[in-house]
Amino acid sequence: MSTKAERTTAFIIETVAPVFNKHGYIGTSMSDLTEATGLTKGALYGNFENKEALALSAFQYNSNKLLEKIEEKLSQGNTAMEKILKLTGFYRNYDAFTTDMGGCPILNVGVDAQHNNSLLSAAAKETIKTIEGKIALVFENGVNSGELRIPVTPLQFAKQLYTMIQGAVAMSTITNDRKYLINTVAYLEQLVKKETKK
């Protein structure tokens, strides 16, 4: 059973995570945070050292939700190809998954924090590396089992795949047109099948 303080901290993080993700670190004011939580500035700072610590916790909360979902998708299916197609299927509806989060945390925080918050920027880069590593492991297992043949190392292939996915996420977000996501995922699925054929 968690303590009242732990429950308050969890409530704060969960409530402010989409606010930071939508408005960015600089764009989020203390009044935005007090309004969202219904708590005073003192109550917020009673649980977090400063705004930066709160923003970092908020990003980690969103990032963990995303990593858990990716892990779940990559653990489905019997073959490496089935696992990758589960992942691309997830990204086909990624905009729906990230709606409550205030958008894609990788894109939003990664771009926003680039020049104004080195800790947040580093956290976004670390999450990208983690995702690429998870995808690479699936490709590596597929190669090792003799199921797949890929033209580059598993990590390089995973990075290329994730770059195209994230590019589609960026374009669909910027243009507010989900066809960028749908069409890119469909193209990627064909490309991966073709590139990994034995």
Question: In this predicted structure, what is the pLDDT of residue 198?
Answer: 67
Question: In this predicted structure, what is the pLDDT of residue 196?
Answer: 87
The pLDDT confidence band at residue 2, using thresholds 50, 70 and 90, is: confident
Cα–Cα distance, 53 to 181 (Å, whole number):
33
The pLDDT confidence band at residue 1, using thresholds 50, 70 and 90, is: low
**The two three-digit tokens of residue 94, written as one number:** 């990624």
Cα–Cα distance, 112 to 26 (Å, whole number):
8
Q: Region 47-71: what's the mean pLDDT?
A: 95
Chain-wide mean pLDDT for the chain? 94
Question: In this predicted structure, what is the pLDDT of residue 6?
Answer: 85
Q: Sign (positive/negative) of CA torsion 12, 13, 18, 23?
A: positive
Between CA 152 and CA 158, with CA 156 as vertex, the angle to 5 degrees is 110
Q: What is the DSSP string of 50-89?
A: SHHHHHHHHHHHHHHHHHHHHHHHHTSSSSHHHHHHHHHH
- Among 10-14, 22-26, 45-49, 55-59, the least confident range: 45-49
Q: Region 128-147: what's the mean pLDDT?
A: 96
Q: DSSP H helical segments within the chain, as ranges?
A: 4-23, 30-37, 41-47, 51-74, 80-92, 94-98, 105-112, 118-144, 154-175, 179-195
Q: Which domains does the chain have, with CATH numbers?
A: 4-195 (1.10.357.10)
The 3-state DSSP class for residue 149 equals: coil
Query: 155-173: per-residue pLDDT in tens?
Result: 999 999 999 999 999 999 9
